[in-house]
Amino acid sequence: MTSPAQQSAVLRLLDANLDRAREGLRVVEDWCRFGLDRADLVARLKDLRQRLGLLHQERYKQARHTAGDVAAGMAHPAQAERLEPAQVLAANCGRVQEALRVLEEFGRGEDARLASEAAAIRYALYDLEVELLRASGSGDQRRALLRHCRLYLVTSPSPQLLAVVEAALEGGVRLVQYRAKEGSCGPDGQPITDAVRLQQAQALRELCSRHGALFLVNDRIDIALAVDADGVHLGQGDLPPALARRLLGPDRLIGRSTHAISQLRQAVADGCDYVGVGPVNATPTKPGREPVGLDYVRQAAAESAIPFFAIGGIEASNLAAVQAAGAERVAVVRAITEAVDPAAASRALLEMLN
């Protein structure tokens, strides 16, 4: 049985952490409102804050006793070092997550509904934090997200393009490249025009934003800039990375296809953020190109100073061999786009990669 003193302590603890979580959410919400101009993020954060407010019972507030709190007013030197908005966002997201965990643990015996809601909000905030980092848009944040990505979806023209990508995002994909090469045909069988490319890229960009995913455009720097993409992916025959960097600025990502270790070394020297390594296997996506096999994957694993994604005919059945060669990240096309259930296919690949 909990003693009256212990119950009073729990009530005070719940009150303090509800205050802490709600205050932290408000800090992040206001930056999304005034700093990012993102009404969608504001609405989601406000919803989380209001859900907690509805559970902040009067009896918790009645138990409050600030004068008797031994940690009241206690600060840490790290607080004075938060000079950038990104640092404030990160600190407050962490603060909210910690407070929610306390509510979850101590609420179980006192308020099961509060404990359950705190857990649900904590998990929702994990995904929202990634989207906040992405929305802040700095190069460091984009590169940090890139390092966390293990599965990279490269699209191909399809009547179900948006549905497939949305399913993949729901399955956990957090890096998407829009690829519609010259000569590609649309749903009507006619060559895809730049107007269609722009429309599709914009729609995919919005999808990726809602899921906190990075969005890149193949080849077309103009379209990448037009839709505010996170960067571009360049083939060996495309514009040189130095020129792409001049056009894109320092904060966007640049990827490069490579087929030999000499090209990887050059991509690193050119300041690329990541490289594709392949094609590992023969694939209809790259007709006529000889596969490089696993030897190049082993070379890349031993030498690459930047993230690399093995690519080319990779699917669940041969992924283990690619991983054994040293690849931690893979890029796929058909393994997701031609799957009966793209979300399930994405989850299965991620489970293997993680």
Residues tagged active-site: 179, 257, 286
**Alpha carbon distances (Å) from 251 to 82, 93, 141:** 21, 23, 9
By C-alpha distance, which of 246, 144, 252 is closest to 205? 252
- Could you give the CA distance from residue 34 to residue 42 in angstroms, rounded to a whole number? 10
Whether 276 and 233 have beta carbons less than 8 Å apart is answered as: yes
Annotate 332-342 with b (16+ C-beta within 10 A) or e (fewer): bbbbbbebeeb
Partners of residue 234 on adjacent β-strands: 256
Per the document, the length of the chain is 354
Exposed, middle or buried, 354 (CB in 10 Å: 0-12/13-18/19+)?
exposed
Partners of residue 330 on adjacent β-strands: 151, 310
Beta strands in the chain (DSSP E): 151-154, 175-178, 214-218, 231-234, 253-258, 274-277, 308-311, 330-332
Exposed, middle or buried, 172 (CB in 10 Å: 0-12/13-18/19+)?
middle
Q: What is the largest CA-CA distance in the chain?
A: 77
* Nearby residues of 230 by Cβ (< 8 Å), 6 or more positions away: 134, 142, 214, 215, 216, 252, 253
Whether 139 and 251 have beta carbons less than 8 Å apart is answered as: yes
Whether 30 and 130 have beta carbons less than 8 Å apart is answered as: no
Count of C-beta atoms within a 10 Å radius of residue 171: 21
By C-alpha distance, which of 246, 267, 249, 247 is closest to 258? 267
